[in-house]
Chains A and B, each alone.
Chain A
Amino acid sequence: MTRNSNLHIVFALLIGLGIGVAYSWFLSPVTYVDANPSILRADFKDQYRIVIAASYNANLDLARANARLILLGDADPVGALSAQAQRMLAAGEAFEKVRPLAQLATDLQLGYVSNPNTPTPLPTSFSTPEVESTVEVAETIIPVTEEAQATPIPTLFFEQTPLIPTFSETITPRPTSTINPVISIPFTLVGQESFCDPSQPALMQLMFIDSRRNQVAGVEIIATWNQGEDRFFTGFKPELGNGYADFVMQANTIYNIRVVTGGSLVQNISANTCTEPNGFQYLGGVLLTFQQP
């Protein structure tokens, strides 16, 4: 074999390699048919979170909601929920649509179902004829008894990846039998403190707690001033507390704060001027604490 023919062979090999790579990358790339939720486009992930939260709002199964959120591959699922809730509010979505997201974020932060009083929908009659009469089901249907409700949720339908960690019951056990305060009980102002923190200039912080000093999420607050009005809710920054909300004030502006639930009104709130030892001046913050009797 001559040196020339060896070169031809190498040359042909390289050309073939190039053709193969080009074909497999551009002409006929790998087609995904079994994608997982973590590679969904951002807007579809948002939709997925909404559905997870809506489902959680219905069944209060925190472990399952958490397992489903993990599928989205967010580094911080709670943060992603909170951020989405805030984005939706900023986009003008109704609070009722955003509330399930905030509630799920709050409960994940707490680690338990914080609002067990939410009416849990019971599945419609177990003996509904549609299912019973289905031929395919006849062999697999478990006789419906009271015990059937507590049957551990099988993860069998996730054939390859067990999506749902094993947990014993559909409904997450409630941590205590304590009845959470009903949010309609009015809040009263129990504390008003000014503070100076250059990292949080002109920040009005509001904290809502119930009679047992548990923080309360989902409280609607309206701040009004001479040029406008803003509406916000507690619980959208669970990392700072479920009963926490804040609002940035402007200089030389007087604010009235109204708690929509219960109608509490706090008037004449403004940002004080703070002065650092070096003479630097900035607007200070205010912390308002509300409590249910």
Chain B
Amino acid sequence: MLIYNPLMSSSNLIKIIIALAIGIGLGLMYGWVIDPIEYVDVTPNILREDYRVDYVLMTAEAYQKDFDSETAARRLAILGSESPATITANALEYAMSHNFTQVEVQTLQTLLTAMQTYIP
């Protein structure tokens, strides 16, 4: 611990403060950039948006086969606390703005309609 020493010159004090700041900077760089904490076992709510949308699309494709709203809603629920309709609407918006095929957009639209009318 640095203790105030009246004999320490102000220039030395400045050097110590600068060294401390450099040390903190290096430490932050190490912890955030060079060797950041690696996450495993994450939950789907932090999936990158394109993966989330693809997951919703898969759910929509499956829904086209079984028309099981409850199963679809349960599958969407793992993506976060938003309602299944909101999750699907966000995915549909993404699909529209990223040149998804017409079939895929339509599939998502069908799921959205189902989720908007779904009552748990």
Give the residues in chain A near B44, CB-CB below 8 Å: 37, 40, 44, 47-48
- Please report the total number of A residues contacting B with Cβ < 8 Å: 71
Contact B36 A24 (CB under 8 A): yes
Stretch of A28-36, A109-117, A193-201 with 4 or more beta carbons under 8 angstroms from chain B:
A28-36
Contact A157 B78 (CB under 8 A): no
Contact A21 B30 (CB under 8 A): yes
Given A32-B39, A163-B54; A19-B32 close (CB under 8 Å): no
In the complex the two chains form, what is the Cα distance from A160 to B74 in whole Å?
29
Stretch of A147-155, A251-259, A269-277 with 4 or more beta carbons under 8 angstroms from chain B:
A147-155
In the complex the two chains form, what is the Cα distance from A18 to B24 in whole Å?
7
Q: In whole Å, how far is A52's beta carbon from the nearest beta carbon of chain B?
A: 6
Query: Beta-carbon contacts of A16-57 to B below 8 Å, as 1s and 0s?
Result: 111111111100011011111101111010011011101101
Given A47-B75, A51-B58, A157-B98; A21-B40 close (CB under 8 Å): no
Give the residues in chain A near B41, CB-CB below 8 Å: 39-42
Give the residues in chain A near B104, CB-CB below 8 Å: 153
Contact A30 B46 (CB under 8 A): no
Q: B62 touches which one: A20, A24, A51 (CB < 8 A)?
A: A51
A-B contact count, CB below 8 Å? Answer: 215
Contact A157 B99 (CB under 8 A): yes
Residue A179 interfacial (CB < 8 Å) = no
Query: Beta-carbon contacts of B37-66 to A below 8 Å, as 1s and 0s?
Result: 101111110111111011101110110111
Given A9-B15, A158-B50; A58-B64 close (CB under 8 Å): yes
In the complex the two chains form, what is the Cα distance from A279 to B108 in whole Å?
67
In the complex the two chains form, what is the Cα distance from A10 to B12 in whole Å?
12
Given A24-B32, A29-B37; A17-B24 close (CB under 8 Å): yes
Given A13-B20, A32-B46, A156-B99; A1-B12 close (CB under 8 Å): yes
> Helix, strand, loop or mixed for chain B's interface?
helix
Given A29-B37, A123-B106; A12-B58 close (CB under 8 Å): no
Q: In whole Å, how far is B23's beta carbon from the nearest beta carbon of chain A?
A: 2
- Name the CB-closest residue of A to B23: A16
- Name the CB-closest residue of A to B97: A136
In the complex the two chains form, what is the Cα distance from A21 to B17 in whole Å?
18
In the complex the two chains form, what is the Cα distance from A20 to B95 in whole Å?
41
Contact B28 A23 (CB under 8 A): yes
Contact A130 B46 (CB under 8 A): no
In the complex the two chains form, what is the Cα distance from A123 to B64 in whole Å?
7
Contact B19 A9 (CB under 8 A): yes
Contact A12 B16 (CB under 8 A): yes
Give the residues in chain A near B47, CB-CB below 8 Å: 34-37, 40
Known: A13-B20, A16-B22. 7 other contacts (CB 8 A): A17-B30, A32-B42, A37-B51, A40-B47, A41-B43, A131-B109, A157-B98
12 contacts between A and B (CB under 8 A): A5-B16, A12-B19, A13-B19, A14-B23, A21-B30, A30-B32, A32-B42, A35-B51, A51-B55, A55-B62, A128-B109, A131-B105
Q: Residues of A with Cβ closer than 8 Å to B? A: 1, 5, 8-25, 29-30, 32-37, 39-42, 44, 47-48, 50-52, 54-55, 57-59, 68, 71, 121, 123-124, 126, 128, 130-131, 134, 136-137, 140-142, 144, 148-149, 151, 153-154, 156-160, 163, 170
Q: Residues of B with Cβ closer than 8 Å to A? A: 2, 8, 12, 15-17, 19-32, 36-37, 39-44, 46-51, 53-55, 57-59, 61-62, 64-66, 75, 78, 93-107, 109-110, 113
Top 7 A-B pairs, shortest CB-CB distance: A20-B27, A16-B23, A24-B31, A54-B62, A58-B65, A55-B58, A34-B48
